Structures are given as C-alpha cells and as structure tokens.
Amino acid sequence: MAACEEFDVVVVGAGLSGIAAGHHLQTECPGRSYVVLESRAAIGGTWDLFRYPGVRSDSDMFTLGYSFRPWTSDAAIAPGPAIRDYVRETARLHGVDRHIRFGHRVTAAQWGSAQARWTVSVLAGGGELQFRCRFLYFCSGYYDYAQGHVPELAGRAGFQGRIVHPQQWPADLDYTGRRVVVIGSGATAVTLLPEMAARAAHVTMLQRSPGYIVALPSRDAIGAALQRLLPARLAYHLIRWKNILLALGLYNYARLWPASARRLLMRAAQARLGPAFDAQRHLQPSYDPWDQRLCIAPDADLFRALRSGKASIVTDAIETLTPDGIRLASGAELPADIIVTATGLRLQMLGGAAVSVDGVPVDFGRTVAWRGMMVSGVPNLALAMGYTNAPWTLKCELTARQVCRLLNHLQATGMDICVPVHADPASATEPAIGLTSGYVQRAAGKLPRQGARPPWRVHQNYVRDLLALKFSSLHDGAMRFARRGHLPGSPGPMP
C-alpha cells in the first residue's frame, strides 16, 4: 500500500455538490488543504452518468445552478449535456478541477478519536490507497451508481425484445420505428415518453399508479427580460430569488391546501388532453401533491405526445412478460420490441463506503440528522443532501458553507472535534426524507432519521435554512466540541 496522504478535508464526489464544496472551501477556508476523490473518470456525477434520451433537469436551472456562477441561458429546464458542461466549466474556472483525483473509489472510513483523524481507504488503479484528514465530506449523493432498481418481471427470460434500464442506457439502442413500453411513472418515464415518441412507432407508459405531472415553460420569459435589461449577475440573482420564492410558495400552498392543489393540477391536465382522455384514471394519484415529487413536462411535451397518438398511458399491473410484449393483470396485452424499466433508483449511503467510529461500525439508519448535514455520534463528517421539494444545489451550498463555518470555529478555538450528540435518544423520530416514493421507502432503514425540533428537524425550506446559517449559534445544545483524545457523547440506542 502506498504512503498515506494527509489533507485537512477529503471531499468524496465531483458532481454538483462536490464542486460547490471545493469552491466554498477555497473561498471561505483559505489555506486549508483538500482533495476531491471521484470514483468515475469525469466531473458531473448524475449528469455524467445518465445518458438516456432527453435526460434533463427536473427543476429550473437558475436555482439548480450555483449562487457563485450564473446560469446565463434563459433555458429554465436544461438538457443533461448542457448541465454537465456547466458543472465541468465551473470546476475549471474556479480551480476545483486541480484538486480532483479521478478513478478513486472510497470503500471505507475509520475515525480515531486519539488522533482526531479519519483514515479513508480507497481503490484506485487496481490497488489500495489511504488518505487521512481532519474532516470528511461526502458529496456522493444517496443512490447506487452501479445499478438502478429493477423489480422481478415474470417471463423475462422468454421476452424476445430488448430490456434496458435508463441508468445503463446502451449507446447502440436504435428505437426508430419500434414499439416501446416504458415501465414507470416518475420523472424518468415522463422524460422518456415524449422524447422516444418522436422516433418510435409508439411509446406506452405503463404504470401501476399515476403521479402528478405539471406542464411548465422550458424558458423563463421574465428571466429573459431581466437578462436583457440588467447586468448579468444582478439579473441572475433576481431570477434566482424569484424562482426560489415562487417554488416555496407553491409547495406550501400544496401542503396547506392539498385538495385545492389536487383540483388545480387535475383541471390543468384534463384541459391539455381533452375530454376523451381519462385523466382521473391515468393522472390522478391516490396521494396528495408533494407526498412524492411532482414531475415536470417542459412546454407540455408529454401532453402533446399523448394527444398526437404517438404515445399512450396504461394504468395496470404486470402479470408476465411474453415473447412479444407484456400481459397485464386485466388480461390485456401490450406489444413491445423494447421495454424500458424506468422503475427508480437504489438508495445507498456514502457511495457504499463502510464507516466506523473508534472501531464501532456506524449504522446510519440508527442516527439522527443534525441540520440535515451531520449525524449523531459521528464526528467531523458531513453529508451533502439536497432538498426533496427544491433544487438539490440550494441545500448543498448551504451545507458547504456550514462545513466551512465549523472548520473555522475549530481553528479559532483550538478544538479538533465537532460532533452532534442526540441527548434524548428515546424521543420520537421519523425518516429524514419524508417522501412516500418507492425508492425512499425501500431504503428507509438505511437513512438517517430526524427529530421533532431544531436542530434535529430537517426543514424543506431554503429561506429558513439560510437564516439559520447566518444567525444560529454553533453552540446549540446539540453540537459538541472537543480536543483530540476525547469524543463527547454517543449516538445512544434509537427508539
């Protein structure tokens, strides 16, 4: 094993949040050494991995983009390659790319309180390496990059066509003139249907139950006007705050008056599809808006594809795959040359790395999240976890700035350790991610939990979190500081 390199901070992941972390470390913690370990061969994370047709943002780019690097296009909903280029160019312009080690997959991290250091084990170039750091910052997202979720499909072996998952989209797949069935009703399926319908003979979105779909313009008309009239940076920040407040207002409206929000969404969908379309069956979920994420149809592309006759939605359960397609529980048969299993993600904490504190393995499902970024009993470790009701980057930038605040406090006070301690482990907790989506429910036991009150409550509210970052004290009764050799508190048993 090669000699162990040492840094002040090790950042894991070079996607949207990893580049934000590098930028804020450079600007708010000058002089601190850091390295970014990226398991893949390129910058971009999600936007480098996903290559399926039509891949795009599912939130507007003025808030998904960075606060420190304006998104200059008036395209609010952007294609994946444009986002990938934006992230890579940001890393280059701000010098973060010089700190990235590609092909470095973190497999384990061990904390030692005696030295107040993390020892990070890495696979790179066919061998094992180690890094040591004072602070470990995971920006690797929360899903498995190796494979998505694929349910068991009876009769799969007998199907004579091709089955693909969007996460591993084959570059040689030609669907021109083919009959395609997309299994799923989430954001990926909603993206694929109109894109593939332009070339396929027909595309059917097969779903067990509907999700909410809302049509939004792909370009921000008000934003375009502001960009023409104002200096670029001022226009960007005005557009950004307009969109943050609008999205937050609509989210709160939906949560406070769900029946009203449901009626508005359904009326809009029915109006776009006409009275002949059974919107109640195919587009009205059993849950309230924002119990799961809303899906966006930019410029109503999905609705236009359905009205054209090139695409359709079928709401039914799968009985079995047949040689020529899918037999449904209702007895109907869907012919298919290609089946796309847009059936969701597999969640995975810390990219699958095993984490231990003073020799004791950490079970993240039995920890409680502090401000949505650190977990009880685990010192000097932060997680970049975005919002579920707003663009990922908003929360990740706040987390990066809070990490810098903690690092500066440790240096100013001569302390080595910061660790959140959940003083009342018997109190009621609930999942930190409150969505009812299948991919969240399948992994509920692996994810940190949240408490009833701050700082253990995970608020899906950017304005509230921003104010907490600026005005809350680090000495909040939960965060403990110490010098090396002593780890305050312990996670304690979870209820």
Q: Kindly report whether the peptide bond that precedes residue 455 is cis, defined as omega within 30 degrees of 0.
A: yes
Summarize the confidence of residues 438-444 as an average pLDDT.
56
Distance CA 343, CA 347 (A): 13
pLDDT at residue 425, rounded to an integer: 55
Q: Are strands 338-341 and 100-102 parallel, antiparallel or unpaired?
A: unpaired
Q: Are strands 369-370 and 374-375 parallel, antiparallel or unpaired?
A: antiparallel
Q: Does residue 321 sit in helix, strand or coil?
A: strand
Exposure class string for 417-442: b at 16+ Cβ within 10 A, else e:
bbbbbbeebeeebebbbebebbbbee
**Helix axis angle, 462-471 to 392-413, nearest 10°:** 10
Are residues 9 and 137 in contact, defined by beta-carbon separation less than 8 angstroms? yes
The residue ranges of every structural domain in the chain are 5-145+346-482, 156-341
Q: For residue range 157-197, what is the model confidence (pLDDT) as tens digits?
A: 999 999 999 999 999 999 999 999 999 999 999 999 999 99
Quick one: pLDDT band at residue 357, thresholds 50, 70, 90?
very high
283: which strand partners? none
pLDDT at residue 149, rounded to an integer: 78
Are residues 447 and 364 in contact, defined by beta-carbon separation less than 8 angstroms? yes
Are residues 36 and 7 in contact, defined by beta-carbon separation less than 8 angstroms? no
75: which strand partners? 219
Among positive and negative, which fits the CA dihedral 451, 364, 401, 118? positive
Exposure class string for 295-330: b at 16+ Cβ within 10 A, else e:
bbbbebbbbbbbeeebbbbbbeebbebbebbbbbee
**Which residue in 108, 118, 91 sits closest to 10, CA to CA?**
118
5-145+346-482, what's its fold? Answer: FAD/NAD(P)-binding domain (3.50.50)
Q: What separation in angstroms does the CA of 198 have from each of 182, 266, 269, 312, 413?
A: 14, 26, 21, 13, 61
**Which residue in 57, 58, 146, 151 sits closest to 341, CA to CA?**
151
**Which residue in 308, 283, 310 sits closest to 295, CA to CA?**
283
Are residues 167 and 147 in contact, defined by beta-carbon separation less than 8 angstroms? yes
Report the top-level CATH class of 156-341.
alpha beta
Q: Name residues whose C-beta falls within 8 Å of residue 170's C-beta, 6 or more positions apart in sequence.
A: 164
> Which of 232-246, 452-466, 478-492 is predicted most confidently?
232-246
Q: Kindly state the DSSP code that residue 79 receives in the 8-state scheme.
A: B
Q: Are strands 104-112 and 295-298 parallel, antiparallel or unpaired?
A: unpaired
Summarize the confidence of residues 335-342 as an average pLDDT.
96
**Which residue in 323, 358, 302 sits closest to 185, CA to CA?**
302
| pLDDT(437) > 80 | no
Quick one: pLDDT band at residue 495, thresholds 50, 70, 90?
very low
Distance CA 325, CA 313 (A): 16
pLDDT at residue 449, rounded to an integer: 86
Q: For residue range 186-245, what is the model confidence (pLDDT) as tens digits?
A: 999 999 999 999 999 999 999 999 999 999 999 999 999 999 999 999 999 999 999 999
**Which residue in 11, 65, 6 sits closest to 392, CA to CA?**
65
Q: What separation in angstroms does the CA of 106 have from each of 25, 103, 400?
A: 20, 10, 20
Q: Name residues whose C-beta falls within 8 Å of residue 89's C-beta, 6 or more positions apart in sequence.
A: none
pLDDT at residue 439, rounded to an integer: 53
Matching fold, domains 5-145+346-482 and 156-341: yes
Quick one: pLDDT band at residue 435, thresholds 50, 70, 90?
low
Distance CA 119, CA 390 (A): 34
For 424, phi then psi, to 5°, come to: -125, 75
Chain-centroid distance of CA 110 in Å reads 26
Give every strand in the sheet of 325-328, ordered side by side: 318-322, 325-328, 333-335
Q: Locate tokens 């253990």: which residue? A: 456
Query: Of 7-21, 333-347, 357-371, 429-443, which range is least confident?
Result: 429-443
**Which residue in 474, 472, 432, 435 sits closest to 452, CA to CA?**
432
Q: Kindly state the DSSP code that residue 2 receives in the 8-state scheme.
A: P
CB atoms within 10 A of CB 266: 16
**Helix axis angle, 301-308 to 187-197, nearest 10°:** 50
Are residues 27 and 57 in contact, defined by beta-carbon separation less than 8 angstroms? no
Are residues 367 and 99 in contact, defined by beta-carbon separation less than 8 angstroms? no
Q: For residue range 79-119, what is the model confidence (pLDDT) as tens digits?
A: 999 999 999 999 999 999 999 999 999 999 999 999 999 99
